Structure 1
Amino acid sequence: MAKTTIELDNAAQTLKLLGDKTRLTIMGLVKDGECCVCEFVEVLQMSQPSISQHLRKLRDAGLVKEKRRGQWIFYSLNTSHATYPIIQQILEQIPDQKEKLRALDEAGLRIQCD
């Protein structure tokens, strides 16, 4: 099995983006599924425009994918990105963010935008 190497520029850009706590948390939240902007706003207790700026940076770099369903946009981890192996390693080292989504569920704040 041949090991793929990641270009230094790509690795540096990914690490720079993940060096921000908010973006790292967002990546942790979408590690196992997809989330809507509204959910990020609730979990992170930040304004929607601020969350959207972080998501735009992640999307423009190709680290997350977006899928539109009606008026809602859902974000998920782009597992086919060249730097995904780095992202995967980092996400395994940080606290699991699923608990934050579970807390939203229990509070009845988890968005079901279908």
Structure 2
Amino acid sequence: MVEIDRLSDVCKLLGDKMRLTILSLLKERDLCVNEIVEILQTSQPNVSQHMRKLKDGGLVKEAKKGQWVFYSLSIDDKPYLLELFQHLPSQKEHVDAISCEQLDCCD
């Protein structure tokens, strides 16, 4: 039953459009919260709330670089997500169009 509970929790996380979009962005490369805010055109508290849920659910991990936090996918231990991630639309164009340098952050 524990495995079903875990899978159920992951499915709940994936059922939110914003969180699924964030995972799709992170599929392209690691991003700081400011980049995600800019791409999604939403507030920093909104993104941070979703990132906390994704982190608590074990789908993303964070790495601090100075005062900045960068997020990356953490799905190596979830092979059942590989098929799903192959079907997520590419966000490469959005991710490539923005950088910390442009936003003047994360230096």
TM-score by length of 1: 0.81
Structure 1's consecutive aligned runs of 4 or more residues displaced over 3 angstroms after TM superposition are: 108-112
Unaligned runs of 5+ in 2: none
Go from structure 1 to structure 2 and tell me whether the alpha carbon gap of 1:111 and 1:93 turns closer, same or farther (over 3 Å shift): farther
Match of 1:103 in 2: 97
For 2:6 and 2:74, locate their aligned partners in 1 and report how far apart those are by CA, in whole Å.
14
Deviations along 1:45-67, one digit per CA (max 9) or x if unpaired, are 00000000000000011110000
TM-score by length of 2: 0.86
Deviations along 1:60-82, one digit per CA (max 9) or x if unpaired, are 1111000000010000001333x
Kept in 1, the 8 Å contact 2:24–2:85? The answer is: yes
- 2:55 is the alignment partner of 1:59: yes
- 2:2 is the alignment partner of 1:9: no
Richer in helix (by share):
2
Aligned-pair RMSD on alpha carbons?
A: 2.0
Match of 1:74 in 2: 70
Q: How many matched pairs? A: 105
Shift of 1:110: 6.1
Fraction of identical pairs, as percent: 49
For 2:45 and 2:13, locate their aligned partners in 1 and report how far apart those are by CA, in whole Å.
18
Shift of 1:20: 0.6
- 2:78 is the alignment partner of 1:94: no
Query: Which secondary structure does the structure 2 equivalent of 1:104 belong to?
Result: coil
